[in-house]
Structure 1
């Protein structure tokens, strides 16, 4: 198993390098990622290339048995390029050109930038593409991160118009799709179509969604540009990946992933200014999303947090046990390699307060010792654990286009797509069901339940899959605002929930958007939620059952007694519709009934405890148990049988005590 660090030799005196490598060997590092921000050193002036610094660093590392991942340096074009070729710079929605001075200061639509990209990637590939100790390549760094996913300049506008022409073929078709008759927006020439810069009110929803699609396709094409050059020159033994950030950017990671050997991910459970880490369910959801991006294929974590992070503001200091816990969580959910960010905190530059395994003084202390403990453990059982299989029983729908549609029209100041997706995911996470993220392209075979949160922008292919899945005996969970939009971002003319009405067995004639601070209540009237009450926030669909039975009704509103949650028999399957945002405790109770009926395996544990089971060879099982609480220890009931600690060999049966931030791997 590869376990390593992100290293920036260019940021330290060469006299320090041998000590860094000595400490890396003591730690157990067997791979480092380097060079992703090194363009100025590689090409100090146009057409002049110098790889001597990286040659020295690579020689020192590889002589000590450490393998190399090389990053193409295109996330940081050098100052001379921005000065001589300002057309490479991106433009924001106000028409302001983004200045040189940070990173990601380019637009992928710049022909000039594409030309320079081809040159530097080709030079790197020719230089290191057959190096026996360079095991792989990372293209660029965190595509689209920090609002660099959208650019609104003149070159972007011309590329957008060409993209639209290719998509629609005629202006008549575009005008029809967008409904440009509204507000006299009809276009009579492609050149009239703008990029969505700032306007007095809001742009046409169809234009906005297509612009996001265009931006995503531009990044997919830009990544392929790099991949094609690398494939031409590198060894078949070297892989190509990219380290994604999954934050609903105008990117289609699944499309980009088709050109990669596997995907990678940057895992930051806490960041600058946050008083505490994000919820464990949110971290788990990100890992599930990574695993599903390339149809269940394992992924790498190329940046795993190892210290307090931040630029001008510093985030929460990870407690003792956090590094191990977040590492184990990643591997349990599909990570096949872990690379920690960063080896040592920088003394200068924007990331001075992104702390690493070593802090600014370069001396090994608590974090170093914790990472060493993790490395030693993974040397014992890491390869065997990574080789096991993760078998999901519950799929949770995520389509980035649906997220874009919600960003364009959130409809309530209490709504964020990310939070509502997490709301419906968390119910399954709290029951320790084996979850996966599914998309329109995903197969639903083998899943016992499919949860489809806030399915606002429908996808005809996925809708038909859902109908067949339910008809064949699957269980579907829909939520409020399902079936509202067609793929062109226009509202359906079919009574809501549109194409899903027969599936859900309901109609929605009216609804209420609740803003921050507003709420009503729902009361369960059947099953495990009988007589249980929850606040109802964000949205209230007023449901009229057609063939569905009622499970919960609204309280405290003029629509008191109106159905809020229903269950419908569809073919051999069951379809639930949750018409409002309910609290976790209520949703967990509802999910208990849904999962029991569907045959989903659940494990009841304290809220802070996560348990992931993976199947090994010859019937063996690997059980990862994680206590995310920083203060409370928990007694945890293990699944039936005798379990052995993979590290110590100690055996357990029945209950075990898990200390705060405790994590271990058990084998059966």
Structure 2
């Protein structure tokens, strides 16, 4: 297994390099990522290439047994390029050109930038493509991050118009699919179509969704440009990856991943001004997305937080144990390599308060020792743990276009897409059900339950697949505001929930959007949630059952007594519809009942404890992690004897977990 660090030799005097490498070897580091921000050094002026600094660094690292992943430096075009070719700069929604001075200051739609990219990537591939100890390549760095996923300049507009012409063929078709008769927006020439810069009111939602699709396609095309340049010169065995961030950007990681050997992502459970880490379920969701992007294939964590992070604001200091906990969580959910960000905190630049394994003084201290402990513990498993089978029984549907549609029309000031997705994913995580992220291309056959949160923008392919899945005995769980939109971002002309009406056995003739200052109340009336009361926030679908039974009702407003949660039999399967944003207590109880009826394997633990089970050649691996920084927890292990190979101890029955404890146990339990 590869365990490494992100290293920036250009930020340190060369007389420090040998000490860095010595400490890396002592730590057990076997790979580094370098060069992803080094364009100016490699091409100090146009057409003049100088790889000498990286040659020296790579030579020192590889002579000491450390492999290298090299990044293409296209996230940071140099100052000379911007001065000579200002057309490469992106444009914000107000029509303002984004200045040089940070990073990601380019638009992928600039043909000039594409040509400059080809030159640097090709020269790098020629230089390092046959190096025996450079094991792989990372294209760019965090495509689309920090609002760089969308650009609104003149070149973007020309490319958008060309993209639309390719998609629709004729203006008549585009006008029909966008409904441009509304507000006299009918186009009579392709050149009239704008990019969605600032307007007095709001742009056509169909235009906005297509613009997001266009931006995602542009990045996929740009990434393929880099991949094609690399593949001409790199040796067999050098991989190509990219480190994604998952914040509902206009980036289609599924499409882009088709051109990559595997995907990577950057795991920051806490960053910037956050007072505490995001929830364990939120972290787990991102790992599940990574695994799903290549349909179950393992992935790399190319940046794993190792110290307090931030630019102008510094985030929470990871507590002793967090590095091990987050490393184990990543590997448990499919990571095959961990690269800690960063090796040492910089003395200068925007990221000078992004702390690393070493702090500014470069001396090994607590974090260094914790990483060393983690690496030593991992050596006891070999590769069997990372190669072990991950078998999920629950799928959670996530669609980028649905996320974009919600960003265009959130409909409530309280609605945040990622948080609402997590509202309906978290109960499955808390029950320690084995979860996958699924999309329209996924097979659903292996799942006992498929959760479909906030299915606002429907996908006919997925709806048809899900209908067959339920007919054949599967269980589906929908949330409020499902079935509303067609793929072109039109509202369906059917009674809600549109194409899901028969499946859910309900009709919704009225609904209410609740703002952050409003709430209703829901009370369970049947089954496991009977008598449980919950605030109803963000949205209230007023459900009228046709064939479904009522499990909960609203208690307030004129719709007191109206159904809020229903359960319907459809074919051999079952469909639940949850009509509002409800609290954990009610949803946890509902999911317990749903999973029990569907025979989903769950493990009851305190909320802070996460358990992941995988099956390898040596036995069953049980990852047990307590995310609480303060509370110890006692859990009941599955039947059998379980060994902690890192400590050489055995457990049976109960296990006490200290705060931030992370163990991987091996047993024969099935």
Normalised to the residue count of structure 2, the TM-score between the two structures is 0.99
Matched, 1:106 2:79: no
Aligned to 2:632: 633
What's the CA shift string for 1:326-350, capped at 9, x where partnerless? 0000000000000000000000000
Aligned to 2:546: 546
Matched, 1:61 2:61: yes
Aligned to 2:620: 621
Structure 2: which 5+ runs fail to align?
none
- Contact (CA 8 Å) 2:384, 2:617: kept in 1 or not? no
Aligned to 1:143: 143
Alpha-carbon distance, 1:526 to partner: 1.0
Aligned to 2:348: 348
The whole-number CA distance in structure 2 between the counterparts of 1:157 and 1:382 is 52
Matched, 1:167 2:182: no
What's the CA shift string for 1:69-110, capped at 9, x where partnerless? 000000000000000000000000000000000000000000
Alpha-carbon distance, 1:382 to partner: 4.5
The whole-number CA distance in structure 1 between the counterparts of 2:479 and 2:274 is 30
Alpha-carbon distance, 1:483 to partner: 0.4
State the SS of the aligned residue for 1:283. Answer: helix
Structure 1: which 5+ runs fail to align?
none
Aligned to 1:31: 31
Aligned to 1:649: 648
The whole-number CA distance in structure 1 between the counterparts of 2:224 and 2:332 is 30
Per mean C-alpha deviation after superposition, the further-off stretch among 382-391 and 321-330 is: 382-391
- Contact (CA 8 Å) 2:636, 2:654: kept in 1 or not? yes
Alpha-carbon distance, 1:358 to partner: 0.3
State the SS of the aligned residue for 1:380. Answer: coil
The whole-number CA distance in structure 2 between the counterparts of 1:310 and 1:257 is 29
The whole-number CA distance in structure 2 between the counterparts of 1:152 and 1:274 is 31
Aligned to 1:598: 598
State the SS of the aligned residue for 2:653. Answer: strand
Alpha-carbon distance, 1:648 to partner: 1.7
Alpha-carbon distance, 1:506 to partner: 0.3
What's the CA shift string for 1:557-604, capped at 9, x where partnerless? 210000000000000000000000110111010001110111100111
- Contact (CA 8 Å) 2:433, 2:602: kept in 1 or not? yes
Alpha-carbon distance, 1:2 to partner: 0.3
The whole-number CA distance in structure 2 between the counterparts of 1:617 and 1:585 is 39
The whole-number CA distance in structure 2 between the counterparts of 1:366 and 1:601 is 38
Aligned to 1:537: 537
Aligned to 1:120: 120
What's the CA shift string for 1:212-257, capped at 9, x where partnerless? 0000000000000000111111011100000000100001000000
State the SS of the aligned residue for 1:639. Answer: coil
What's the CA shift string for 1:146-172, capped at 9, x where partnerless? 000000000000000000000000000
Aligned to 1:436: 436
1:371-386, aligned counterparts within 5 Å? 371-386=371-386
State the SS of the aligned residue for 2:121. Answer: helix
Aligned to 2:522: 522
1:221-620, aligned counterparts within 5 Å? 221-617=221-617, 620=619
The whole-number CA distance in structure 1 between the counterparts of 2:58 and 2:311 is 28
Alpha-carbon distance, 1:316 to partner: 0.2
The whole-number CA distance in structure 2 between the counterparts of 1:232 and 1:470 is 47
The whole-number CA distance in structure 1 between the counterparts of 2:331 and 2:548 is 41
The whole-number CA distance in structure 2 between the counterparts of 1:244 and 1:141 is 8
State the SS of the aligned residue for 1:381. Answer: coil
Aligned to 1:190: 190
Q: How much is the aligned-residue C-alpha RMSD, in angstroms?
A: 0.6
The whole-number CA distance in structure 1 between the counterparts of 2:194 and 2:56 is 49
- Number of aligned residues: 667
State the SS of the aligned residue for 1:641. Answer: coil
The whole-number CA distance in structure 2 between the counterparts of 1:37 and 1:538 is 42
Distance 1:544 1:487, change over 3 A: same
The whole-number CA distance in structure 1 between the counterparts of 2:292 and 2:352 is 34
The whole-number CA distance in structure 2 between the counterparts of 1:153 and 1:412 is 30
Alpha-carbon distance, 1:649 to partner: 1.9
Alpha-carbon distance, 1:646 to partner: 2.1
State the SS of the aligned residue for 1:198. Answer: coil
What's the CA shift string for 1:167-192, capped at 9, x where partnerless? 00000000000000000000000000
What's the CA shift string for 1:253-286, capped at 9, x where partnerless? 0000000000000000000100000111100111
The whole-number CA distance in structure 1 between the counterparts of 2:589 and 2:53 is 59
Per mean C-alpha deviation after superposition, the further-off stretch among 520-529 and 503-512 is: 520-529
Alpha-carbon distance, 1:517 to partner: 2.2
State the SS of the aligned residue for 1:233. Answer: coil
The whole-number CA distance in structure 1 between the counterparts of 2:247 and 2:256 is 15
The whole-number CA distance in structure 1 between the counterparts of 2:595 and 2:380 is 36
What's the CA shift string for 1:471-505, capped at 9, x where partnerless? 00000001111000000000000000000000000
